[in-house]
Amino acid sequence: MDERGPLCVGIDPHAALLEGWGLGDDVAGLERFTRTVVDALADRVAVFKPQSAFFERFGSRGVAVLEQAVADARSAGALVLMDAKRGDIGSTMAAYAAAYLDRRSPLFSDAVTLSPYLGFGSLRPALDTARANGAGVFVLALTSNPEGPEVQRAAAADGRTVAQVVLDHLATENAGAEPLGSFGAVVGATLGEADAELAMGGPLLAPGLGAQGAGPEDLPRVFGDALRNVLPTVSRAVLRHGPEAAALRAAADAETDALVAVLG
């Protein structure tokens, strides 16, 4: 982020975007879309966030496109955050960790999104695998969807919100790391007020910019003293400018400039 600017670009090849690019809603369209985005932006954006579901819907051929995109993006110097939102227990969680966080996997990514709602302790296999492989995780804490508060704002037995419990667990995982730990949280830019202690020693992935209604100017109010640790993510605000590579680059540069003006 210091070298390339504070921007994460989502790779979300849903049917409407493929159609908007004049591509078919099929594996060929998926591959053309994904390759164009990576080729245009991998040498300039800090992070890509491919949404695994949009590749999985095409089966093994779609996953093959995802594997190639991960490899190409990382070889060009971009970090890859796999947006898979995995969460399970025991050997199943360990298998998810091996898929995304073990360097021997063809889907190895620099980080993966995780869901903690089987209990934070259920994520231990992923946390340990990330630590062993120089990777990281982003755990859902305060998400940008309107349904999130019914779980995330609920009170735990000690009076803390569920979201704060998650954030406090992450603070423990990051203890002693400099300048930041590798265990981050997902906190939506649309919240208005976070009402939580966000300075937990790790990065904060901020969805909700652009199509979901938030703008860079909303970030200081949501994140406060933790603003320097924010990784804002946009998808459609950049992707809708394709398929021309120059237009994608111009859109990404404009988003980066707007974020730098707020985040520094």
Q: How far apart are CA 164 and CA 157, in angstroms?
A: 12
Q: Is residue 85 among the annotated active site residues?
A: yes
H-run or E-run covering 141: strand 136-142
The 10 Å CB-count burial string (b at 16+, else e) for 201-224 is bbbbbbbbbbebebebebbeebbe
Q: What are phi and psi of 144, to 5 degrees?
A: -85, -5
Separation CA 235–CA 244 (nearest Å): 16
d(CA 152, CA 164): 8
CA 205 – CA 139 distance, rounded (Å): 9
From 4, 14, 74, 85, active-site residue: 85
Query: In angstroms, rounded to a whole number, what is the distance separating the alpha carbons of residues 104 and 46?
Result: 23
Active site residues: 85
